[in-house]
Amino acid sequence: MTTAGRTVREMTRSLMRDLGLTTVFGNPGTTEVPFLTDWPDDFRYVLGLQESVVVAIADGYSQATRQPVLVNLHSAGGVGHALGAVFSAYRNRTPMIITAGQQTRTLMFSEPFLGATDAAEFPKPYVKWSYEPARAEDVPAALVRAHQIATTPPCGPVFVSIPADDWDQPGTEVEARPRVPGFAPDPGAVAELAEALRNCRRPAFVVGPAVDADGVVEEMVQLVERTKAAVWVAPMSPRCSFPEDHPQFAGFLQPEQRLLTEELADYDLVVVWGAPAFTYHVYRGEATRRLPEMFLVHDDPQVLARARAGKSVLGSLAHSVRQVAELVEPIDRPLPRGYERPEKPAPATPLPAAYVLSTIAEAMPENTPVVEEIPSHRNDLHEHFPIRSTDGGFFTGFSGALGYGIGASVGVALANPHRRTVALLGDGSSMYGIQAIWTAVQEQAPVTFVVLDNSRYAAVAVLGEAAGGNKLPGVELGGIDFVQLASSLGCPAKLVTTPEELDDALRAEFNGRTGPALLHVKVDPGQRFLY
């Protein structure tokens, strides 16, 4: 019922409290003023200086807390700026509620300045639900529905466009509803998977981001040890779902069909846990070998439908991992061979990226949250920077759209105020969201931005040359002074060019540093073949 005296604004703020959405990430404009006026003292507004940065910060915060997050954008222009980051949030399966101000209803027929034409269509298809309420009084109900859809597995962003004159109108009372819990898989499918694990001789697990997102990495470790399975990381996985220093850790699958098939073809059972079956980045022909018997465990029926082979188990990973483990006793079979890491490279000038990553890994405290966006150095990261976390310690973007890392690291740091977050960033990728440093300073987020500067879009150059391209334009970047950039935004910064400077800088970062800081690390521009 519509309640006199209770406006849409008042009802919405009460619902935000009930739903735990009192931290709002945004970049406001005039159409958001009615939402923001008389901002409550118990609410927090985290300001970003560009909308894609706002969404990336909120994405990192949501991923680190495993909680939904509310983002406040400005009309069509602000949503347009943010769409690349919304695409990343969709691929990351982030439970994000995006609101955007719309021009007043009284002006919309005339297509006014700052009006969003077909606002609900604009962010599609990279939102789970998109809506502009037909009546002002329905805004509170739209928020509740948005929260339900965003947080129901498979999670993802949703969008609500709200006309500016709705906030002062009487609203219709609606109650906040709790999140829909994850769902359990079919018992018969679980029993069939458990039977296959008991009867195979050489199993392999492929772990994806949903294992960590559902908080069952420790349970996965126990299941791995019972089954003596080798554990591979799914291609391009944005989270660490198995500690990479475990003796049964086998390595990282490459996002190319033939290479991936070669890695898995000698097993007699492959179980894919919480990942799109396989994510490829390049095509170099069909595989010459066949994959073995395969089970795919996921909470998204679309992911299971896209798979070209294997038996499907539909269910949340928190339920699926635990239920399979209940049916599998320790199995007596030989342990698989573990991943063999190369030795740490020798110090040199210019600094090899592998040496820098190895040195940071040695220096940072245990359980340090890590955010990564260094596509040019991902092989070096895999070999020299083992992620040991069993609970939300590693984050990167699953979409491949640059700019996620620098913003997300601020969000992760805000979610972990008592631990220092390390952001491993390329010089190219950091420039897609450099404004995030300003927010880190304003919020005094405990984050160390490490910019590995090879002065080029090296991933583009190397993959382009591997595909037969040559004399490629648009890949050279040199001359960006990240120390001055960071300093201009109020962030302490230091240039690092030698091993000794790197050691000194890392000691300072992990010895009582508060607030943000940036290390501009010049690395050898020589580049390894990626895959």
**Both 264 and 310 in a single domain?**
yes
Residue 348 domain-assigned (yes or no): no
Number of domains in the chain: 3
Answer yes or no: do 143 and 226 share one domain.
no
Please give the pLDDT value at position 164.
94
Residue 57 lies in a domain: yes
Q: Is residue 153 part of a domain?
A: yes
- Asked whether residue 23 is domain-assigned, the answer is yes
End-to-end CA distance of the chain: 60
**pLDDT for res 116:** 86
Residues 244, 114: one domain? Answer: no
Q: What is the largest CA-CA distance in the chain?
A: 74
Last residue of a domain, one of 291, 309, 327: 327
> Would you call 514 helix, strand, or coil by DSSP?
coil
- Contact between 487 and 418 (Cβ < 8 Å): no
379 within some domain: yes
Up-side HSE of residue 407: CA atoms within 13 Å toward CB? Answer: 33
Residue in the block written with tokens 């199995």: 331
Q: What is the pTM of this model?
A: 0.95
- Counting Cβ atoms within 10 Å, is residue 49 exposed (0-12), middle (13-18) or buried (19+)? middle
Domain assignment of residue 171, yes or no: no
C-alpha distances in Å from residue 69, one per residue of 10, 54, 61: 19, 11, 8
311 and 362 part of one domain: no
Residue that terminates a domain, selected from 129, 163, 197: 163
Q: Are residues 136 and 15 in the same domain?
A: yes
Residues 366 and 492 in one domain: yes
Which of 327, 344, 379 is the endpoint of a domain?
327
**Boundaries of domain holding 297:** 187-327
Given a contact cutoff of 8 angstroms between Cβ atoms, the answer to whether 515 and 445 are in contact is yes
Would you say residue 175 lies in a domain? no
> Domain for residue 429, yes or no?
yes
pLDDT of res. 278: 87
Which pLDDT score, from 0 to 100, does residue 464 have? 54
pLDDT at residue 172 in the model = 93
Supply the CATH number for residue 258's domain: 3.40.50.1220
Do both 358 and 495 map to the same domain? yes
| pLDDT given for residue 118 in this prediction | 92
Concatenated DSSP letters of 401-442: -TTHHHHHHHHHHHH-TTS-EEEEEEHHHHTTSTTHHHHHHH
Q: What is the pLDDT of residue 80?
A: 96
**233 and 192 housed in the same domain:** yes
Say yes or no: 361 and 318 in one domain: no
Task: Based on the fold, state whether residues 122 and 88 are members of the same structural domain.
Answer: yes
**Pairwise CA distance, residues 121 & 444, whole Å:** 37
pLDDT in tens, the chain (531 residues): 445 569 999 999 999 999 999 999 999 999 999 999 999 999 999 999 999 999 999 999 999 999 999 999 999 999 999 999 999 999 999 999 999 999 888 888 888 888 888 999 999 999 999 999 999 999 999 999 999 999 999 999 999 999 999 999 999 999 999 999 999 999 999 999 999 999 999 999 999 999 999 999 999 999 999 999 999 999 999 999 999 999 999 999 999 999 999 999 999 999 999 999 888 887 878 888 999 999 999 999 999 999 988 999 999 999 999 999 999 999 999 999 999 999 999 999 999 999 999 999 999 999 999 999 999 899 999 999 999 999 999 999 999 899 999 999 999 999 999 999 999 999 999 999 999 999 999 999 999 999 999 986 556 555 555 556 676 676 677 789 999 999 999 999 999 999 999 999 999 999 999 999 999 999 998 766 565
CA distances from residue 51 to 45, 200, 361 in whole angstroms, order as listed: 14, 50, 32
Specify whether 416 is located in the same domain as 492. Answer: yes
Name 521's Cβ contacts closer than 8 Å, sequence gap at least 6. 351, 356, 450, 451, 452, 453, 496, 497, 502
* CATH number of the domain bearing residue 72: 3.40.50.970
Assess whether 52 and 156 both reside in one domain: yes
Q: How high is the pLDDT of residue 471? A: 65
Task: Report the C-alpha gap between 151 and 147 in whole angstroms.
Answer: 6
